[in-house]
Amino acid sequence: MNKWHKIGMAVGIGSAAISTIHIINKIIFSTSVVTGVTVFNNKLNYKWKFGNIAYTKTGKGKPILLIHDLKNTSSTYEWKEIIKKLSKSRTVYALDLLGCGYSDKPNITYTAYLYVQLLDDFVTDIIGKRTDIAVTGDSCPLAIMACYSNSMIFDKLILINPENIGKSTLIPNKKSNIFRILLNSPIIGTLIYNVCMSKRNIQLYFKDELFYNSDNISKAILNAYHENAHLYGSSAKFLYTSTKCRYTTASIGRAISEINNCIYIIAGDSETNIDLIIEDYISINPAIEVALISHCKHLPQLEKPDALLKQFNIFL
């Protein structure tokens, strides 16, 4: 066999492998969303300048905006146990951030500033009056910076298991840029994403990071987070790439110290390093009030919704 036959065979094998991976990716995306567990009937649409934003509006009373964690697996579903009860006394808005859930997932680099614009525009255009805001995890810096840039449209700010202040200062480096290029590749990058977003890996993430009691991790919750990670096909990976490569971080120390909004932290007492995180926030702004929920980690709105609602009633 001469070298041209070898090259031809190698090209043929490579093409077959790429075609196979492409088919596998398509099957994964199509089968991951068949349950429709995250579908909500009262979905509304906000035509924002960077894409359509899915949101819900429920109840009557002073408005409150609920914002899920900044993860490609997250969505309004995170608040499903809270919205119904909270809407008895409040007008509850909950949105899917750009790149999440049923909102558009454009092929762009997602940044903290992009989301600050989204929150500002959404409150101005859709809510139309000063609103309280409750926000989870990695989305906390977005809400903090939104309040800092336009405090007149936001009232009380509830941070649920907020991000470490030190983590918020991390920026992209050479290694993260290489990882970004790899993940953004149309076939191999998509396969890597699908492996990372397998139901098994999501389940392990819940056990290790999100829930205190693994018995509380229902099949419906796992299906929802797995579905969120695959809605709209391979477009779902672009936010994952931006968060992993640190494009969504924002330095929040100055904002925490200078904003005049009432700030409350509600945290699971078993959240990783939560005591140090709270200490850092209070050292910058001693006026911050804190409440801990026992036997709980990152998502009290799903694991201990009644306990979280009790704290909402106290603070709001």
**pLDDT beyond 50 at 124:** yes
> Please, are residues 125 and 132 in contact by the beta-carbon 8 Å criterion?
no
Q: How confident is the model at residue 51 (pLDDT cuts 50, 70, 90)?
A: very high
Q: For residue 285, give the H/E element and its range.
A: none
Give the number of other CB atoms < 10 A from CB of residue 240.
19
What is the tally of helices (H) and strands (E) in the chain? 13, 8
Regarding pTM above 0.85, the answer is: yes
**Which option is the CATH number for 44-315: 3.30.470.20, 2.60.120.330, 3.40.50.1820, 3.40.50.720?**
3.40.50.1820
For the segment 162-178, what is each residue's pLDDT rounded down to a tens digit? 999 987 777 777 777 78
Residues whose CB falls within 8 Å of the CB of residue 4, separated by 6 or more in sequence, listed in order? none
Q: Are strands 263-268 and 289-293 parallel, antiparallel or unpaired?
A: parallel
Q: Which two tokens stand for residue 97?
A: 């951030």
Residue-wise pLDDT for 82-104, tens only, equals: 999 999 999 999 999 999 999 99
pLDDT band at 11 (very low <50, low <70, confident <90, very high): very low
- Can you tell me the distance from the alpha carbon of 33 to that of 307, in angstroms, rounded to the nearest whole number? 31
Task: Give the three-class secondary structure for 238.
Answer: helix
Residue 290 and residue 264 in contact, taking contact as beta carbons nearer than 8 Å: yes
The mean predicted confidence, pLDDT, of the chain is 89
Interatomic CA distance for residues 114 and 98, integer angstroms:
9
pLDDT at residue 2, rounded to an integer: 54
HEC string of 170-186? CCCCHHHHHHHHHHHCC
Average pLDDT over every residue of 273-292: 96
Domain ranges of the chain: 44-315
CB atoms within 10 A of CB 17: 11
- Structure confidence at residue 189 as a pLDDT band (50, 70, 90): confident
Report whether pLDDT(224) > 50: yes
Backbone φ, ψ for residue 166 (5° rounding):
-65, -40
Average pLDDT over residues 297-304: 97
Name which of 175, 177, 168 is nearest 249 in CA terms.
168
